[in-house]
């Protein structure tokens, strides 16, 4: 889940960056206007010499060479127009332009190499963090088979504010899918806190509601320690989450804390598992009122497919602003294996959004295994 001001701020930064890249070429254009008008009495040599240096600040080596080439072309044109060839000033300007261009190119190439090395190191760290934070779910867990997918909206990003996990415990298979409000390192921190609390609590708490309470307590405790309390914590630190438990029986228990409801595919029909009583996201415990809540129970028979996801899927928009139809995608690919389904969903999202995801996407698909009797009768595993 993105912060409302995020895309707008990114757009401002992009505009400023483009304007900065245009400065060297704007200076060259200014020199042409001065030299080809009565204003040519002004001395413009230093302005052209500065263009490669300015390009090296905001552009790569190729951009620096392009700016240097434009500066040389303008110098030749103005010198020819003003009949200045043969003067010491012209050759001095060309020598200064050559030296500055070489120095700017070398500096730009060195900076580019250093930046690429730093980005590669950051990417390796992010990949390692993803392996710990968002580890792939096991394929076979007791009565179910599962698979997961994570897509980051930011180019080059590995992790964000979406979270998921599937764990087999003595109480059954327990799952969580969540989405932190906001983005950046605070969102990653909140996701790690919730996942850490979940992974510990699922093995010791027999009541699924206690597992959810442990996740929320860890989130609030971290907000208090970091000093983000009160209204700020309410507005910036909450997490929508869905926690589910699949026991041996043909049903599933679900606790929904402000998260999009999971979709259940049964006999070719998709229906959302809507909570009987809405609950606020994790971190907004003060808005929970009334008697203690219990998990909702829904049928989940052998052969059924369950899909848990974050709002980056259903809020993905096409260029015409149409939302992505996840239920239709489930029906269309109902005969696909879990891996094929996730690959097909990935490609469908990219086609729908024209390769421009606006938010991170986390998806967990779970198939209820057929029982031994059905397997021996020749049913699919």
The answer to whether 207 touches 224, Cβ cutoff 8 Å, is no
Tokens of 364: 């967990």
Domain spanning 137-376 has what CATH number? 3.60.40.10
Tens-digit pLDDT profile for residues 297-331:
999 999 999 999 999 999 999 988 999 999 999 99
Which of 230, 206, 210 has its CA nearest to residue 283?
Answer: 230
Decide if 313 contacts 164 (C-beta within 8 A).
Answer: no
| 0.75 surpassed by pTM | no
316 secondary structure, DSSP code: -
Summarize the confidence of residues 358-379 as an average pLDDT: 69
Long-range contact list for 33-42, CB < 8 A, 24+ apart?
Answer: 35/74, 35/77, 35/78, 35/81, 35/82, 36/78, 36/81, 40/78, 40/82
Q: Strand ranges (DSSP E) for the chain? A: 140-141, 144-151, 162-169, 172-180, 239-246, 251-257, 263-266, 269-272, 296-299, 305-309, 361-368
pLDDT of residue 379: 40
Selection from 163, 103, 113, 201 nearest residue 364 by Cα: 163
pLDDT tens digits for range 180-212: 887 777 888 888 899 999 999 999 999 999 999
* Alpha-helix runs per DSSP H in 185-317: 185-201, 208-226, 230-236, 311-314
Q: What is the pLDDT of residue 128?
A: 60
Q: Are 198 and 257 in contact (CB under 8 A)?
A: no
What is the band of 168 on the pLDDT scale with cuts at 50, 70, 90? very high
pLDDT at residue 29 above 50? yes
When pLDDT is averaged across residues 84-93 and rounded to a whole number, the result is 69
Which stretch of DSSP H or E encloses residue 76? Answer: helix 61-81
> Domain residues of the chain, as ranges?
6-126, 137-376
Q: What is the pLDDT of residues 89-147, one digit of tens each?
A: 776 777 877 888 888 888 888 877 777 777 777 666 666 666 667 788 889 998 899 99
């Amino acid at each position: 889940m993105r912060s409302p001001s995020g895309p707008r701020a990114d757009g401002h930064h992009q505009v400023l960056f483009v304007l900065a890249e245009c400065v060297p070429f704007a200076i060259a254009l200014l020199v042409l206007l001065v030299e080809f008008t009565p204003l040519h009495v002004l001395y413009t040599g230093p302005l052209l010499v500065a263009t490669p240096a300015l390009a090296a600040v905001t552009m790569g080596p190729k951009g620096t060479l392009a700016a240097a080439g434009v500066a040389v072309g303008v110098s030749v044109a103005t010198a020819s127009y003003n009949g200045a060839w043969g003067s010491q000033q012209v050759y001095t300007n060309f020598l200064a332009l050559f030296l500055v261009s070489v120095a700017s190119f070398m500096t730009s190439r060195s900076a580019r190499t250093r930046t690429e090395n730093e980005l590669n190191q950051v990417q390796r760290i992010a990949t390692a963090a993803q392996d710990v934070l968002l580890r792939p779910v096991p394929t076979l867990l007791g009565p179910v088979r599962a698979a997961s997918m994570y897509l980051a909206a930011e180019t080059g990003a590995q992790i964000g504010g979406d979270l998921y996990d599937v764990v087999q415990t003595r109480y059954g298979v327990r799952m969580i899918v969540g989405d932190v409000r906001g983005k950046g390192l605070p969102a990653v921190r909140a996701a790690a806190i919730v996942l850490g609390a979940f992974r510990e609590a699922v093995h010791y708490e027999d009541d699924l509601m206690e597992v959810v309470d442990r996740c929320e307590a860890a989130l609030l405790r971290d907000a208090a320690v970091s000093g983000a309390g009160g209204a700020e914590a309410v507005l910036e630190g909450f997490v929508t989450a869905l926690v589910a438990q699949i026991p041996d029986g043909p049903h599933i228990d679900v606790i929904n804390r402000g998260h999009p409801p999971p979709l259940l595919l049964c006999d070719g029909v998709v229906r959302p598992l809507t909570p009987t009583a809405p609950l606020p996201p994790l971190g907004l415990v003060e808005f929970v009122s009334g008697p203690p809540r219990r998990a909702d129970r829904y049928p989940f028979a052998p052969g059924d497919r369950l899909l848990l996801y974050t709002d980056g899927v259903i809020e993905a928009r096409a260029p015409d602003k149409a939302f992505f139809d996840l239920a239709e995608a489930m029906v269309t690919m109902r005969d696909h294996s879990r891996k094929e389904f996730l690959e097909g969903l990935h490609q469908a999202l990219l086609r729908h959004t024209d390769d421009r995801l606006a938010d991170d996407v986390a998806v967990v698909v779970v198939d209820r295994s057929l029982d031994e009797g059905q397997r021996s009768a020749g049913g699919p595993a």
